[in-house]
Amino acid sequence: MFRKTVQRMAGYVPGEQPRDRRYVKLNTNENPYPPSPQVLDALRDAIGENLRLYPRPMADELRERAARHYRLAPRNVLVGNGSDELLAILMRATLDAGGRVAYPVPTYSLYDTLVAIHGGLAVPVPFPDDFSLPPALAEVDAELVIVCNPNSPSGTWLPPQALGPLFRRRDRLVVIDEAYVDFADGHCLELLRDVPNVVVLRTLSKSYSLAGMRIGLALGSESVIGELAKVKDSYNVNRLSIVAGAAALRDPRWMEANVRRVRRSRDALTRRLVEMGFVVPESQANFVFARRPGEDLGPLYESLKRRGVLVRHFATPELRDGLRITVGTDDEIAVLVRVLGQLV
């Protein structure tokens, strides 16, 4: 009944959303602070009779607001049901059977799953130890290249100048997944000016505290956005998400204030982890990757969980010596640091 690729694949395993007890939940990079009150007001106003009507197919209100926010035209914006959906749309639009998708690893493991679903071939290119751009990525044969920037789980960020070699070739699409970029020192939007084959992905899940609304944005040239729009579901973003997203982008100061708090907490958390003997790459995201090189931190993850603190542990050989810890409130971080201190 099912395609061979589907039968063979495991399916993506999202971070746990446990219901059994209350955890200090630092495992899925959600924002610990609420979204702008303007979002809640706009949602209240939007709940009514209109819900019986389909939404605008291209999410016009949000598309136009996003264009204004990023100083682009609406034709340069595609709205998605989370940036996860936009990643799937990108693959649907670019991959024939066996089509190649290259990305530096370790990175966001959903890329592997989506490549498998679309019958493509993943071409993982290992990051150097310092998480700089792997030179081989510039020359690799692929229909699609994805750079997660800031990268997960390392938290490391590459400035746009460092990505230059990727754009020597113009015969493939290069996606910069900027899910966490509002927490970084810069971003890659300037590439949209000069590079016709680049797509920048943004999400309102992290910095804008709207993970529950599922809102992603693909930014690119008119022709690229036009091709992607052809393969999306007709009504891929629901009415309430359109309203919420537009309201959030009308109040960027709220987001910026939350980002400043998260960045301050992140840097303090990094210092504490280093004092405890962890190796922590400089994070430009809303999480940190705390390593003990060579040691399997699976048992430490389990002990933290038993004590009510949930972080993310990846069991793969390259990542099992680390814990990815979302930057929560200062109170949550204090609990994590106290419990971790007892355990190590």
Q: Which is nearer to ligand PMP, 89 or 296 (CB)?
A: 89
Q: Which is nearer to ligand PMP, 1 or 10 (CB)?
A: 10
E-strand spans in the chain?
Answer: 24-25, 77-80, 100-105, 121-126, 144-148, 173-177, 198-203, 216-219, 287-291, 309-310, 322-326
Closest-approach residue to ligand PMP (CB)? 82
Query: In degrees to the nearest 10, what's the CA dihedral of 220, 222, 223, 225?
Result: 50
Considering only residues 70, 108, 127, 131, which one is a binding residue for ligand PMP as defined by CB under 6 A?
A: 108
Q: Which is nearer to ligand PMP, 103 or 301 (CB)?
A: 103
Q: In the chain, what is the straight-line distance between the N-terminal and C-terminal CA atoms, in Å?
A: 50
What is the three-class DSSP state of 246? Answer: helix
Q: How many residues of this chain bind ligand PMP (CB under 6 A)?
A: 12
At closest approach, how far in Å is the CB of 341 from ligand PMP? 28
Q: Which is nearer to ligand PMP, 76 or 83 (CB)?
A: 83
Q: Which is nearer to ligand PMP, 10 or 13 (CB)?
A: 13
- Packing angle of the helix pair 222-230, 83-94 (nearest 10 deg): 90
Show contacts with ligand PMP in window 320-339 (CB under 6 A): none
152 interacts with ligand PMP by CB under 6 A: yes
Q: Which is nearer to ligand PMP, 84 or 182 (CB)?
A: 84
Show contacts with ligand PMP in window 212-271 (CB under 6 A): 216
283 interacts with ligand PMP by CB under 6 A: no
At closest approach, how far in Å is the CB of 209 from ligand PMP? 12
Q: In a 10 Å sphere around its CB, with 0-12 CB exposed, 13-18 middle and 19+ buried, how is residue 251 labelled?
A: middle
Q: In a 10 Å sphere around its CB, with 0-12 CB exposed, 13-18 middle and 19+ buried, how is residue 225 labelled?
A: buried
179 interacts with ligand PMP by CB under 6 A: yes
What mask, x for binding ligand PMP by CB under 6 A, covers residues 50 to 89?
Answer: --------------------------------xxx-----
Q: How far apart are CA 288 and CA 139, in angstroms?
A: 30
Residue 203 pairs in a beta bridge with 216
Work out the number of other CB atoms within 10 angstroms of the CB of residue 306: 9
**Tokens read off for 63:** 């598309």
Work out the number of other CB atoms within 10 angstroms of the CB of residue 338: 12
Considering only residues 27, 76, 156, 203, which one is a binding residue for ligand PMP as defined by CB under 6 A?
A: 203
Tokens 């990305």: give the residue.
103
Q: Which is nearer to ligand PMP, 43 or 337 (CB)?
A: 43
At closest approach, how far in Å is the CB of 216 from ligand PMP? 4
At closest approach, how far in Å is the CB of 270 from ligand PMP? 19
- Give the list of residues 6+ apart from residue 294 with CB closer than 8 angstroms, or none: 321
At closest approach, how far in Å is the CB of 205 from ligand PMP? 3
145 interacts with ligand PMP by CB under 6 A: no
Q: Which is nearer to ligand PMP, 179 or 290 (CB)?
A: 179
What is the three-class DSSP state of 194? Answer: helix
Q: How far apart are CA 107 and CA 82, in angstroms?
A: 18
205 interacts with ligand PMP by CB under 6 A: yes
Q: Which is nearer to ligand PMP, 16 or 276 (CB)?
A: 16
Give the interface with ligand PMP as residue ranges (CB under 6 A): 82-84, 108, 148, 152, 177, 179, 203, 205, 211, 216
